[in-house]
Amino acid sequence: MRSPVRPGPEGGTTMAKRQAPTPETSDAPPAGDAGWMPSIDAGKSVKYTAIVQSMEEAIASGRLAEGARLPPHRELAARLGVTVATVTKAIADLARRGLVDTRRGSGTFVVGLAPAEAPPPAASDAPLDLAVNRPLAALAAPFLKDALLALTGAEAGDLFGYEIVGGNAANRATGIAWLAERGIVAGENEVLLTQGGNDGLLAALQAICRPGEAVACEASNYSGIRRLAQALGIVLVPVATDRKGMSPEGLEQACRTQAIKAVLCTPVTHNPTAVSMDLARRAEIAGIVRRRDLVLIEDDIYGHLAGEAGEPFFCDMPERTIHVTSMSKCVSAGLRVGFLAVPRTLVGRVRDALYTTNWTAPSLHAALAARLVAGGAARDLVEAQRAEALVRVARARQIFGPALDLEADRASYHIWLRLPDHLRADEVSAELMRAGILVSPAHHFSIAGTAAPNALRISLGAVADRGLLEQALTEIARRIVGVQMAVGAIA
């Protein structure tokens, strides 16, 4: 998986970036639309590529002159009949190629093509990491840059003192708005700020369980759950899953044989299997939780990215559900902000649990989140991440075919690939690592006492370049699927 010239995001080579004329020294007029404004096909699923290709051709031909200032994103979106997120994604792509330069308060300027004799980037010996599970960082970069630049003056100074654990009123207001995107109506006294989803899960488990008590969870699960359980001294009871998530029969069996205190589950885009519960399955699980008088810890970290995926458990059972969410899987992995929606009877215990690992709220990250949510950028960015994830999942489906366990219309940055019986996941993972491709074998996610499925989790967001991602996926398929590959690039 080595290449002397690293492809750009759409398969072309990455061009060396040139410095755009500065707004202070340039009287560049706005770029007119004659000859370069793209024509968007209403039936085209990935519209931003038309914008990128049209502008790249216009810059190469000189129709878009070096130093020209592009129209604002919202104006471009309105003229093209697309969303602001689509335009933002296209401009970010052009910026990564070194064709435009965006400057806060001044606009976006055409940089122009690099000289033909510019040397190519050096080859990288680093493996392609399809093991780490995160959204595409390059999509988030311009949004986070704008939010960071906005945090200046007195407000910035206030972000480096001690702040109440669980968040102040402004932090909780951000959480209320973020949770509302998932259909959750929560009051200020029912929302707590956390330093990401893992922090929220730790607080929820510690608030509900004492050492030695048992929590039922999916038999294959987020690997951090095992570490949290070990730190808290609680027992994880594995429950079988199927293509609709946690098995009701398996949960009933666990409740009959163990003194279960709580149920922990991921109803949307389960990690690692990527399956989601339908409404009927949610109703069955909720019924068991009520009959057994349990608390349900709902890990909804992928809910925003997946979009419309059924009503969260908190909406149906707010009196016995702790809803855990964050921005790490749908906005940016490094934005360590999460929120809990908690029954009022449990808020005090959960806040006390947060003090175990926190002595102050994540004020700086919370301020960034507030900027993104209040200005609508968070919603635009989630839409852009969702669109990108859908493109990558669609191509993975073409490459791997029925070996993938994933719903066709569900956005996800990870996929679950079941292997044929004659192959072993550990051996395939080791072989791929020697070839320069990192993936996660199923045993990484298995709860103690269960046999690991013969499968691999493959992450689609850590490799920014679509061309390199497709090379890696094709190589994986060549080694394990052994069928004629679908032809065509990720577009």
More confident residue, 49 or 11: 49
Single-letter amino acid, residue 10: E
Query: Across the strands, what pairs with 238?
Result: 217
Q: Is the pLDDT of residue 36 over 80?
A: no
Q: Is the pLDDT of residue 22 over 50?
A: no
With vertex at residue 85, the alpha carbon angle to CA 45 and CA 5, rounded to the nearest 5 degrees, is 75
Mean pLDDT of 54-63: 76
Which of 72-81, 153-162, 212-221, 406-415 is the most confident on average?
A: 212-221
Q: CA torsion sign, 342 to 348 to 351 to 353?
A: negative
The pLDDT tens digits of the residues spanning 114-167 come to 444 433 333 456 789 999 999 999 888 888 888 888 876 546 667 777 788 899
* Tokens 């030695």 sit on residue: 212
pLDDT score at 455: 92
The pLDDT tens digits of the residues spanning 357-408 come to 888 888 889 989 998 999 888 999 999 999 999 999 999 999 988 777 666 5
pLDDT score at 407: 60
pLDDT score at 189: 93
Both tokens of 178, joined, read 């973020």
Q: Could you give all domains of the chain from N- to C-terminal order, each with its CATH number?
A: 17-118 (1.10.10.10), 161-377 (3.40.640.10)
The pLDDT tens digits of the residues spanning 178-207 come to 999 999 999 989 999 999 999 999 999 999
Which helix (H) or strand (E) segment is 173 a member of? helix 169-180
pLDDT score at 202: 96
pLDDT score at 95: 77
pLDDT score at 9: 39
pLDDT score at 124: 53
- Average pLDDT of the chain, as a whole number: 83
pLDDT range class, residue 59, cuts 50, 70, 90 = confident
Other Cβ atoms closer than 10 A to 4: 8
Q: Is the pLDDT of residue 456 over 90?
A: yes
Alpha carbon distance, N-terminus to C-terminus of the chain: 20
Q: Is the pLDDT of residue 454 over 50?
A: yes
Please give the Cα distance from 283 to 291 (Å, whole number): 12
Whether cis (ω within 30° of 0) applies to the bond prior to 119 is: no
The pLDDT tens digits of the residues spanning 238-282 come to 999 999 999 999 999 999 999 999 999 999 999 999 999 999 999
Please give the Cα distance from 386 to 308 (Å, whole number): 11
Contact 175, 191 (CB under 8 A): yes
Q: Is the pLDDT of residue 80 over 90?
A: no
* Tokens 């192959």 sit on residue: 423
Q: How far is CA 254 from CA 207, 215, 264, 281, 475, in A?
A: 21, 10, 13, 17, 41
Mean pLDDT of 420-447: 92
More confident residue, 125 or 316: 316
